[in-house]
Every structure is written in C-alpha cells, then in structure tokens.
Copies of this chain bind each other. A is one copy, B any other.
C-alpha cells in the first residue's frame, strides 16, 4: 500500500479515537458528572474538538489527500471510500473556524446541563437564552457554506447528501397519508389500557433489559448497558458501545427503549474489524442508524411473531402481571395508536408527526422567524394541529428532547427518514429469508442479524445511505414501503 494511503488510514484512526473520547465525556456528563463540573467539562470538550478539527484541516491532510489520489490503489475498496470520507471532512472542516468549533463544544455542554435543570423544574425561561444562542450558532454555521437552503448545511452533518427540499417533499407525502392512517387506526381499534403499566421491580427490569439486548445480539464483552435520564447509544471506543435506558417503577417502557438502543448498538458492534477503529469505518449515516433502531424496536419488536417470544419471557419475569393476560391483548396494546405528547413514547403511526413538527420549528428558528421565548406556544399549537393533544407544561412539551441542547439541530429528520428506510430494508430481508417470521417467533434473530451485518453493518460508514439502499433494496429511499407497512398494520 502506498505511503500516503497508509498515513491517511492512520490519521483516520487517530481522529476516530479522539472522537470516541469526546463521546466518552458526553456519556459521563449525562450519567455521573457532578453539577459544578459542567463549565470545566465544557473546556475539555472544546479542547478536544479543536484537536480533532486541527487534524481534519491541517496542511498534512491536504498534502496526503493529493498524493494518495495519484495512486492506483486509490480507486480500490475500501481506499476509495476512505478517501471520499476524508476529502469531505477536510473540505467541510476547513470552512469552519477552529474558534467556532470550540465555542460550540463549550456551549453545548453548558446548554445540556441547563436543559436538564429546566426540564426537571419545568422552567423553560431559564433554558430559552441557551436555545437562542444555539440557534444563532447554527445560523452562523450555515453561513460557512453555500447551500441553497439554510437547513442544508446542518442536515448534511447528520446525513451527507440530503437536502431540505428532499426532506420537505417526503414530509409532504407523509403528512396527509399518516393522518389518514392515524384516523382509521383510531376508528378501528378497541379502547384499551396499556399492558406495560403496573409495578415492576427495577432489578428484574435490568435483568430483562440484559436478556432482551442479548436476544437481539448485543455483545457485553464489547458493550455496556447502563442508565441515564434520556436513553441513548454511544461508542466510547473501539469495541466499546454503550446503551442506556431509564427504568420506571410503574411501567415497562424500558423494554422497548432497550430494543431501540440495541438496534443502534448492533450496527456499531458489527463493523468489520479491518476498519472499525477508523473514521470512515464508523457508521456515518444517521438515516441508516435510525433505520436499525426502529427496525429492531418496531418492525421486529412489535411484530406478532417476535412479540409472541417477548410475551413468553415477560410471563416468566413478571408472572403476576402477565399470566392473566391474553397474548392478543398484549400484541394490540404494544401496537396501539395513541396520539401522545412524548416523541420517544410515540407509536409507529404518529411518530413521524412529532418529527415534522420539530423540523418546522427548527427551520423557523434558523430563519429567525421564531424566538426561543415563543417556542412553547407554537409547540402547543402545532401539537394540537398534528396530533390533537396539548402539553400541560413545557417538560412534556418543548423541553422533552435533549437534542437542541446538545447542538443537534438538523438531526430530527433522520428519525423520519430512518423509519422509511427501516421498512424498505426489512422488506428486502423478508424476500431473502423465507424462514424469517418463524424464526422471530422462536426468538431467533441470527438470520436477520446476519443479513444486516452482511449487507449494512460490516461496512460501517464506507457506503452512503443511498448506496446501501440501492445495494440492499434495489431502489432509492422511498416513503411507499413504510406507508404500506403502516397501512397493513393499522388499517385492516
């Protein structure tokens, strides 16, 4: 291998290691860090971000990229994919000043803490100034680029190559279609309570989480299951993938939350050994990432087949609660359409509506058509319009998500696009795996996981979402398979 290429791979390893350190700091900040440590953590985060930024903008990288491009091996897999990734990182990062990167990293640590406090105390006013500051920073970020839409530069941080125009086209298609699905589902389903409500020992929930994650294929030799206020998945290092969940004493929502995060974790844990510790080898597409969390949580997790297996396990774990229940009741309850306030608890039919609302608010904030102080009122209006429900306070309204506090503006659409991709990818798996439904009924996830590893996970970030979808499904991202899936599930 040419010298320039191997030096680029080495540099991409260094950057990846440092990114993982940043993730480690964030993981800790969301779990254990004491309150007064926030400012110092912000400085740490800023220093590391600047270090990464320097590596991705340095003259050395520019020279190596030019040198490597001349080599014959530069066109081969995975060199070509690595070069594409580093070239893009070089170009994008070179447009962003180091001082901006440090300011942003520092602000986000502080804003995240402020958000936590504000959410706990239902005190949006204290958080609003941070929100204005974050959106001002994001506005500034988009000026470093020449995209047609103010949202594009931000969206591209999470999903390279997607545009606001594409997102809006898809949303336009979904908006009315999903409204119809919601209405017909609400009309058809019987009124019923939530079978996941009740008293459940935290200790047994923890054990259940470990078991459920294990059934999906989570490897605790290279992973950790822990807790946090807001469940998330994070890669803190090579072979170090952590998922968190939150256990409630009065409901079992931790179960599906664990399935969701395990979906993310499976992607991260199954990147091929050859490039798992490199920047281009790490999963890059948030659409693909979210497709996997949604696939395992919903398409698998709430399917009649896998639910049957889950139900048996629940009967063993919590016999008093589940032994008196019929499976059909369990199945219809975990699939009930229930327009509600909290995005992470939303059912499959209503989930995308939560995303559209957030997207619209983000665009309005970026365009300065909306100020943070006015967000709660607009939030309430839109919730009423989209889902017919109104939050009684900001904690269950505009304060519910951590994303904006972390600086994740432009991220939400990847959830919606990920939903679409999940249905497309699962349909492809069904075609290739004739025994799939029977296996899921037995709690056997091996064939599906193997299919996903083979076609998606092992490549990490080497291929883009459109490339993967073309390879796996033979078509570009489309709303139709997801709408068909929802219709089949909720409108029969």
Contact = CB atoms under 8 A, between A and B. Distances in A.
A20 interface: yes
A237 interface: yes
Interface string A23-39: 01100100011111101
A25 B28 CA distance: 10
Given A40-B17, A237-B40, A238-B39, A24 B34 contact: no
A14 interface: yes
Question: For chain A, what secondary structure do more than half of its interface residues adopt (helix, strand, loop), or is it mixed?
Answer: helix
A56 to B, nearest CB: 14
Contacts of A35: 221-222
A236 interface: yes
Contacts of A236: 28, 33, 37
B277 A43 contact: yes
Contacts of A220: 34
Give how many copies assemble into the complex.
2
A3 to B, nearest CB: 19
A47 interface: yes
A224 interface: yes
A445 interface: no
Contact of A40 (B32, B33, B39, B238): B238
A119 interface: no
Nearest to A14: B47
A220 B35 CA distance: 8
Contacts of A36: 221-222, 239-240
Contacts of A20: 40, 44
Interface string A475-486: 000000000000
Q: Size class of A's contact patch?
A: 35 or more
A239 B32 CA distance: 13
A37 B237 contact: yes
A329 to B, nearest CB: 37
A224 B32 CA distance: 7
Contacts of A37: 222, 236-240
Contacts of A41: 237, 240
A17 B47 contact: yes
A226 B32 contact: yes
Contacts of A47: 14, 17-18, 21
A21, A34, A35, A39: which has the most chain B beta carbons within 10 Å? A34
A14, A24, A48, A226: which has the most chain B beta carbons within 10 Å? A24
Contacts of A33: 224, 236-237, 240
A13 interface: yes
A162 interface: no
Contacts of A44: 17-18, 20-21, 24, 237
Contacts of A14: 47
A217 interface: no
